[in-house]
Amino acid sequence: MIDLKNVYKTFNRDGIEIEALKGVNIEVEKGDIYGVIGFSGAGKSTLLRMVNFLEKPTSGSVLVNGQDISKLNKKQLISTRRKIGMVFQHFNLLNSKTVFANVALPLILDHVPKNEISNRVNDLLKFVGLDNRAKNYPDELSGGQKQRVGIARALATNPQILLCDEATSALDPQTTESILELLKRVNKEYDITILLITHQMNVIQKICNKVAVMEKGKIVEKGRVIDVFGNPKEKVTKDFVHSVTNDDIPISILNLIKNNRQNSQNRKFFRLKFMGNSILTPMISMATKKFNVEINVLSASVTELQDTPMVNMVIELECDSTLAEEIVKYIESKDILVEEVA
């Protein structure tokens, strides 16, 4: 659907070359809600602008539906762009036009017959929950309502792909939640592939099935959300995960671990991470019976990543190192991540 292959982008500003993208590789498949997350300046917006060819790569290729868009002529590029909708952070609505007229604009520019425009716009306004606001103007709407208009406008030309540029960054948490639910409906009911960029981890957590983490123009980690954020490798990824998951061990527990370790060399502490179906495994009970050892649960927390539960647990074992290694291997064999607490 969308394939960026070894894409580099260099800007020249006042004689200084700035590399915005450095060898970016991303593959977005049909039906994905693919999130690109990174802090400000990571290169997210530049990446997104490559897909509809608002920016040209310095090198590398950008394929949409198997076509290298850098090789399309003007007519072909216009046709390809019609299949790509865009949702903006600050809505980009025309304040002098009604809600109906804003949504109708892409259809008018495409010379769609008036009766078809009316039917299409009314259907879209009903879909986004604004069928009673057709005659209102943007300054009469809340931020969330404006973004709903923006989404309806982006859907007007029946796109196959929807690009979202920080679509919820200007919204409060409750409104963000409702917009994310709407985007999930867009993906499911209209069968539209979504590529979004964000600096908000909760956006990835709520709706994305795949994610790429960007830092300084590079993709540092990518894959299924549950895999990347379930077991993050890079510091920037860990920082994003910590912003939404309660997996930090409380200081009081850390102090307890420190004191107990000093009192007995046989006390060992581990962090367990259960994801998906592994949470149904009665691991503590199974390990206790199998190895005839007591396991003390010191803390536990639950987080959801795109409707998939993830449990973090800190346990204490009192046994020798050899037995502890056997227990760890047994737990890991059940698709549970184990990390010793230093």
Mean pLDDT by 10 residues, the chain (342 residues): 95 89 96 95 93 92 92 89 92 95 95 94 97 96 96 96 93 93 96 96 91 96 89 89 72 74 75 87 92 89 80 88 93 91 74
| Final residue of a structural domain among 218, 242, 266 | 242
Q: Kindly report, residue by residue over 92-140, the tens digit of the pLDDT.
A: 999 999 999 999 999 999 999 999 999 999 999 999 999 999 999 999 9
Same domain, 89 and 234: yes
For residue 159, give every residue at least 6 positions away whose Cβ sits within 8 Å of its Cβ, in sequence order, or none.
82, 83, 84, 85, 192
Specify whether the CB–CB gap between 82 and 110 falls below 8 A: yes
Specify whether the CB–CB gap between 174 and 12 falls below 8 A: no
Can you tell me which residue has the tokens 């040209």?
A: 56
- In Å, how far from its chain's centre is CA 84? 19
Question: How much is the CA Rg of the chain, to the nearest whole Å?
Answer: 25
Specify whether the CB–CB gap between 12 and 58 falls below 8 A: no
pLDDT of residue 333: 93
The closest of 31, 86, 306 to 196, measured between CA atoms, is: 86
Can you give the residue range of the structural domain that contains 302? 251-340
pLDDT of residue 106: 94
| Final residue of a structural domain among 197, 212, 242 | 242
Same domain, 235 and 141: yes
Distance CA 127, CA 135 (A): 16
- Number of other residues whose CB lies within 10 A of the CB of residue 239: 13
Our count of domains for the chain comes to 2
Partner residues linked to 33 by β-bridges: 194
pLDDT of residue 252: 78
pTM of the shown model: 0.87
Q: What is the CATH number of the domain that holds 307?
A: 3.30.70.260
Distance CA 50, CA 219 (A): 15
Same domain, 223 and 275: no
Same domain, 281 and 142: no
Same domain, 236 and 140: yes
Same domain, 31 and 137: yes
Same domain, 76 and 137: yes
Residues, the chain, total?
Answer: 342
| Final residue of a structural domain among 209, 242, 275 | 242
List the 267-275 sheet strands across, edge first. Answer: 295-305, 308-318, 267-275, 337-340
Same domain, 299 and 190: no
> Which of helix, strand or coil describes residue 303?
strand
Specify whether the CB–CB gap between 48 and 26 falls below 8 A: no
> Which of helix, strand or coil describes residue 293?
coil
- In Å, how far from its chain's centre is CA 246? 18
Q: What is the CATH number of the domain that holds 195?
A: 3.40.50.300
